[in-house]
Chains A and B, each alone.
Chain A
Amino acid sequence: MIQIHDLHASVGGKEILRGISLEIGPGQVHALMGPNGSGKSTLAQVLAGHPGYEVTSGTVTYRGKDLLEMEPEERAQAGVFLAFQYPVEIPGVSNAYFLRSAYNEIRKARGESEADPLEFLDIVEGRLKLVDLDDSMLNRSVNAGFSGGEKKRNEILQLAVLDPLLAILDETDSGLDIDALRTVADGVNKLRRKDNAFLVVTHYQRLLNYIVPDRVHVLVDGRIARSGGKELALELEERGYDWVTAEQGVGGQR
């Protein structure tokens, strides 16, 4: 699905990613963990094409194509989805219009016919239940006035509607109470298939109780310090991040 090779990226001249290599295959869920400031969110944003980050070297191949050459909208149309850590409020654009525009752009890119408002409503109704959102939210502005939990659930709703091949969840668990966390995790689990993949970025292990990863990577100071199976997450929960940073000798200055 995606091969990241020796990826370096910086913001404002400061290097944040310092040589990341990672490969995710179809049907897999990878967790990316690490202390604050280790570069987890930066990697997520770089993969989505945020213009604020400069990729200085390395390659990212997504389904055989050079991902870094693609515009953010082209990446989305090709099946890459980023669930934002801080979903953006867009007063004045309804969720329904926003989602349908995105859905139809992606359909268009795949050479499929666009859905009219009624067809689209059918599609959304089914997905709303998945994340326990009320259809009244469709007429509200995108994320405007939403609670933290509603915003995160809205991200997963978008994920469910847009049906990406590679979904990156950037700290989707932060700020969620345990019930909301379970709802979000259940939603994601129902969307797992043989032909799609997830990269779950999280600071805490608890989300991984519900979304069980195939692989866990620990990011420290812009590099992957350790990779392992799901048990690595439990070990981190128990021992904290310090032992990884100490072991790798990369220092915990960040």
Chain B
Amino acid sequence: MATIGSPPSKAWGGSADVSTAFAEQFGTTRPEGPAWLAAVRERAMASFQAAGFPTTKNEDWHFTNPSPIAEATFEPMRPPRGGLTTDHLTPWLFGETAWPRLVFVNGRFSPALSRVDVIDGITVMSLAVALREEPSLLERHLTRQADTEDPAQVFAAINTALMHDGAVIHVQKGVSAKAPIHLLFLSDADAAGGSSQPRVLIVAEPGSQATVIEQYAAVGGSRYLTNAVTEAWVGDGATLNHFRLQQEARDAFHVGTTVVRQERDSHFVSFSFATGADLSRINVYAGLHGPGCGATLNGLYMLGGSQHCDHQTRIVHFEPNCYSRELYKGVLDDASHGVFNGKVYVHPAAQKTDGKQTNNTLLLSERARIDTKPQLEIFADDVKCTHGATVGRIDETALFYMKSRGIPNNEARKLLTYAFAAEVLETIPIDALREGLERLTLERFTGTVNS
């Protein structure tokens, strides 16, 4: 990791100097868009410049120092030279070539690699196209959820200021999507030294149901930054399943923020799978703005080497009779560092809130480290909320049990490690996705395939 070279100038420690790369980019290659968006972009860039990058003095960044990203002064990501074919997508498709998919390479929409047939009642298009064809939808929803004023959220502000491409998914009232919609953000070798700012907007109208798989991966490793923002609006009685897979190149940086607003009786199910990148920070924020909502936030992070991955989740109960469930599990090997910072806020009006939050981490090495901070802030008096965190090593009793059946020590350890991770993967209802992630996980620990 690089050291901080710029003098601490701002009162809270922000470093304005290193923010100039993004500011210059904003000044010289300002993205196109309608007037309302231009104004939003101006404000976002201004708040980023005022705040600079956060330091570990900022409570939300206490365990993650973003200065390696700040120091790297990324250029806008170079367009791919081409040459990627659908064959290159195979590892990322879970064997499901028929799912509608939008593919982006180095932050740019690739129509040739994408596959979007007309789906009744569902609009799936690139952000650039949506800005032309769906201006009123975008004006209603785009940039409405992500906070760009908070100094802890400068990465969302940078994305808002600089976003140029991404995906827009609009599910009409009462429509149920039959297949998951797959958004695949690939970076290739030409991504080196560049940053992309993917933006996703999902609008699930009342009574609709949809599943979105948002995947970040690399073809050929290099050092680049993906700074993604996803906003979702889940209308009355709608259900959104959102699977987020961070499988970036091992040298890469990844910052991702998902912000969801839930209306009455809606359900949001989120899964964050993170195995990639050198340094990553993933925020998942759900606001339950109507009564009768359910939010489920699950995740699995598996790190090795010197990888660092920080999950920050926030579930805000504004209204009564809602539930939230959260299970994040981590497997940390070598000198990797995991962070889990989960907050559940229960506002005074949110009576009968039923909340459960759990973070379990398995440490495979003496040098691995987890900082876990499950937090409950409850301002209502009639609620049922629990939270807990465990950090442990392989269960010796189970290990002996397996060995007593003839399974060698190393195999038993790997199988138990897989089993620890598999508990949370089992919550994924899409067979192809669950099996694909289970296979990845099993191969990671055993080098064999389960069946």
- Whether A and B are associated in the same complex: the answer reads yes
Report the nearest A residue to B425, measured CB to CB: A92
Say yes or no for B38: interface residue by CB 8 A criterion: no
A77 to chain B, nearest CB (A): 5
Is A73 in contact with B401, judged by CB distance below 8 angstroms? no
> CB-CB < 8 A to B411: which residues of A?
101, 105
- Count of chain B residues with Cβ under 8 Å from any Cβ of A? 26
> CB-CB < 8 A to B412: which residues of A?
73
Is A90 in contact with B398, judged by CB distance below 8 angstroms? yes
Given A73-B403, A76-B403, check contact A93 B408 (CB 8 Å).
no
List residues 407-451 of chain B with CB under 8 A from any CB of chain A.
407-409, 411-412, 415-416, 418-423, 426, 450-451
B265 to chain A, nearest CB (A): 31
Is B422 in contact with A92, judged by CB distance below 8 angstroms? yes
1/0 per residue, CB under 8 A from B, across A70-89: the answer is 01110111000110100111
Report the nearest B residue to A89, measured CB to CB: B398
Say yes or no for A117: interface residue by CB 8 A criterion: yes
B406, B416, B418 — which one has the most chain A CB atoms within 10 A of its CB? B406
> CB-CB < 8 A to A117: which residues of B?
451
CA distance A97 to B402 in the complex (A): 12
Is A88 in contact with B426, judged by CB distance below 8 angstroms? no
> CB-CB < 8 A to A77: which residues of B?
406
CA distance A190 to B402 in the complex (A): 25
Say yes or no for B397: interface residue by CB 8 A criterion: yes
Is A82 in contact with B415, judged by CB distance below 8 angstroms? no
CA distance A76 to B406 in the complex (A): 5
Given A84-B401, A91-B423, check contact A73 B408 (CB 8 Å).
yes
Is B400 in contact with A92, judged by CB distance below 8 angstroms? no
> CB-CB < 8 A to B400: which residues of A?
49-51, 72, 88
CA distance A141 to B415 in the complex (A): 12
Select B418's contact among A48, A75, A92, beta carbons within 8 Å.
A92
> CB-CB < 8 A to A76: which residues of B?
403-406
CA distance A117 to B450 in the complex (A): 10
CA distance A15 to B397 in the complex (A): 21
1/0 per residue, CB under 8 A from B, across A128-160: the answer is 000000000000010000000000000000100
CA distance A106 to B402 in the complex (A): 12
> CB-CB < 8 A to A51: which residues of B?
396, 400
CA distance A119 to B405 in the complex (A): 19
List residues 281-295 of chain B with CB under 8 A from any CB of chain A.
none
Is A109 in contact with B406, judged by CB distance below 8 angstroms? yes
Report the nearest A residue to B397, measured CB to CB: A88
Is A102 in contact with B451, judged by CB distance below 8 angstroms? no
Jot down 30 A-B pairs with beta carbons below 8 A, ordered by A.
Answer: A48-B404, A49-B403, A73-B403, A73-B405, A73-B408, A73-B412, A75-B404, A76-B405, A76-B406, A81-B404, A88-B397, A89-B398, A90-B398, A90-B416, A91-B419, A92-B420, A93-B416, A93-B418, A93-B419, A97-B415, A97-B451, A98-B415, A101-B411, A101-B415, A102-B402, A102-B406, A105-B407, A105-B408, A117-B451, A162-B405
Closest 8 CB pairs of A and B: A92-B419, A76-B406, A92-B422, A102-B405, A88-B401, A72-B403, A105-B406, A73-B403
